[in-house]
Amino acid sequence: MPAGWIIALVAPPLLFLLAACLAWPTGSTSAAQIVAAGRRTVVLAALTTGGFAVVTVESLGAAEALTSRAFAVSWLTAPVVLAAAAARRWRWTVPTSRPRVTVALCALAAGSWRWVGRAWTSAGRGERLLAGTIGAMLSIELIVALLAEPNNVDSQTYHLPKVEHWAAQGTLEFWPTAIHRQVTIPPGAEYLLLHLRLLTGGDALHNLVQWLAGVGCLLIVTRIVAQLGGARRAQLIAAFAVATTPMVVLQATSTQTDLVVAAWTGCVATLALDGLRRPATIGAVLALGTATGLTAVTKTSGLLGAGPMLVLWGLGQLRLSGWPRRPGAVLRTGAASLAILAVAGVFVGPFLARVADEFGHPLGPPRLRESIPMQRHDPAAVLVNGLRIGHTALDTPFAPLRAGAATAIVAVAEAVGVDPQDPEITFHRTEFPVPAWYPDEDRVAFPLAGGLALVAGVLALCRPRLVAPLSSGTARAYAVTAATALVLYFATIKWQPWGNRLLLFCLILASPLIGLWLDSMLRRRTDHRRRDESPDDRHQARRRRSVAVTVAATVLATSALSGVLAVSYGFPRRLVGAGSVFSTDPWETRFLRRPDWAADFRWAASEVRRADVQRVGLVQQNITWEYPLWLLLPDHEIVALQSVLPDRAPAAPESVDIIVCLGDRDDCTELTPVGWTLEFRGYLGVASPPAWVGPATTATARNDLHRE
């Protein structure tokens, strides 16, 4: 096994474990004083690992040293530094005669194993069934993630091409391109992929980033349930609801970024809830700042969830500091808030600075700012936008239900004076409504989880004791915060056919309420209450509980079925049927959405290799697939002949050795130099110089011949 693969497989887990050693509470704050201390440790270790990955990319990019060797050195050095810090920290609790770090790691592993064993032994059959189903789903998703090649459309267009550009140029500087999303969309998830790309030399492990983010989301959801007073069954129900949601199942095997941003947003939420119980320490501020920065650098829409959670944290800190009796509490909380923003700026600031320098605005060019964000924010427009988003998110296979709900929404829009297809609240060239029930990773709806979250959220707002009797105030505050995030999403993000995946962070934030509510439906009445009841009352209570158990079991079984169907038949990665990861050729798997393009790309690459040239010019549009060419032509220089960046001029057609055209014949014909031969085969075209100008002839010599 190449050394890079060994580093990629060993160094990140080792760094994570060492970070966990550092994060485990000791001394004055023991683990018993922290809700779900083990999962909090996992959150802090994940933030440390993710923060290290992002800072490493930014630092090496600034030094123009994005190379395999530099990344290998970074991953070999970081565990040594953390090991030294862990040894120093554990010096007070581990006898000096033992290797401190080894003892700490062994203690952590042994403690985790004992905790799992005790939890499994003490669990009931229902809890074991929930946990077993979750484990089975994660295992199957892991198999798909390892076997399937990345084949997401956005990944073919801009997620993975930007990784290849960084690796090719050794820096994070922008490059001329016709696909503005390669440089304008926040790159936090792609930073993580860059580590794997440079260490392994390929994309075989790329799907693991989203899979790990999915596991993180489950742990975060269960911890939030515990923080809101939920017992183990409530935690398992919430995790089960998330694990079987088709969008989560399909995203967990993808190179999209929605689960990654949902995980970072969830980190902000669970750390913010900690701030309702304990005054913030320097470590808590650093953790919150890191989580916020990682959210922002991954996808700015995640800040719609992180922002309200930070406000909740701030209000909790003010209360703990004695405000309004102590005016100094405002200064203390304000200083901590500014520190959080400063730490977040370390992670997202360099990228925003590059975007602002290139486009004159930190949010990118006008076409980006006008295509996704809402351009009107009056209450009527926000209402219509929210109704349409909800319609798509809760879509079902029942066409009459979809059509009837859409008709009602259109009627509401007309009643409040809003055009339901208004481009100011609708993504460019799309039209409401669209079917979204099919298990497709880009648009699949989540009617079960979404409907349960809405009901649980309303109950938590109106009757919180029914949802969380032990911490009703905290549950209501959390529900208000999660609802605020959803309203902010309605007010800022236009409706779009594939908007369900953008809503994923809202679903993760709301899912803890599902577990609390369903568990409350199943909870038995206390013995002293039953002694005061008549036999008829007890009979009625048993009947109500039987109905509740039946309803909850039906909902959970339906959710499990939807999750199984998604992982089995979901598109474009599935276990069985046409396109199965077990029976489909790896190259064909990459083109399951466009099967006819697989041969076209191979033909174009063979033409380039047959010409024996080095510099390849690309003619493309904003939605064309660039990544397959990087796979087929790894030793070639690939440059764009068009550019939407104002300060990045594209390469001149005469300066390249050969031209590959993606999609549009007219653009390709316009950019093909006089005398060159242009041939199209399906989706791709190749323009080559005259045969009598051999491949060894330099671009300068060809230009002279053309001028003559």
Residue 322 has pLDDT above 50, yes or no: yes
pLDDT band at 707 (very low <50, low <70, confident <90, very high): very low
Continuous H helices in 493-596:
504-522, 527-531, 535-569, 586-589
Residue 150 has pLDDT above 90, yes or no: yes
Of 75-89, 240-254, 498-512, give the lowest mean pLDDT range: 75-89
Give mean pLDDT, residues 115-124. 75
The first and second tokens of residue 176, run together, are 């001329």
Q: Alpha-carbon distance 573 to 579, whole Å?
A: 7
- Evaluate whether 632 touches 599 at the Cβ level (below 8 Å): no
Question: Locate tokens 């199965």: which residue?
Answer: 580
Give mean pLDDT, residues 121-134. 88
pLDDT at 705: 38
**What is the rounded average pLDDT for all residues in the chain?**
90
Q: Alpha-carbon distance 334 to 314, whole Å?
A: 8
The first and second tokens of residue 241, run together, are 């609801």
Residue 264 has pLDDT above 60, yes or no: yes
- In sequence order, the 6+-apart residues with CB closer than 8 A to the CB of 293 are 51, 54, 343, 344, 345, 346, 347, 348
Give mean pLDDT, residues 266-275. 97
pLDDT in tens, 363-415: 999 988 888 999 999 999 999 999 999 999 999 999 999 999 999 999 999 99
Residue 108 has pLDDT above 80, yes or no: no
Read off the pTM: 0.93
- Evaluate whether 480 touches 276 at the Cβ level (below 8 Å): no
The first and second tokens of residue 48, run together, are 């440390």
pLDDT at 27: 61
Residue 103 has pLDDT above 80, yes or no: no
Residue 568 has pLDDT above 90, yes or no: yes
pLDDT at 529: 47
pLDDT in tens, 438-480: 999 999 999 999 999 999 999 999 999 989 988 999 999 999 9
Backbone angles phi, psi at 53, to 5 degrees: -60, -45
* Of 269, 70, 180, residue with least CA distance to 620: 180
Residue 135 has pLDDT above 60, yes or no: yes
Angle between helices 37-62 and 328-359 (to 10 degrees): 40
pLDDT at 25: 83
Q: Alpha-carbon distance 659 to 685, whole Å?
A: 8
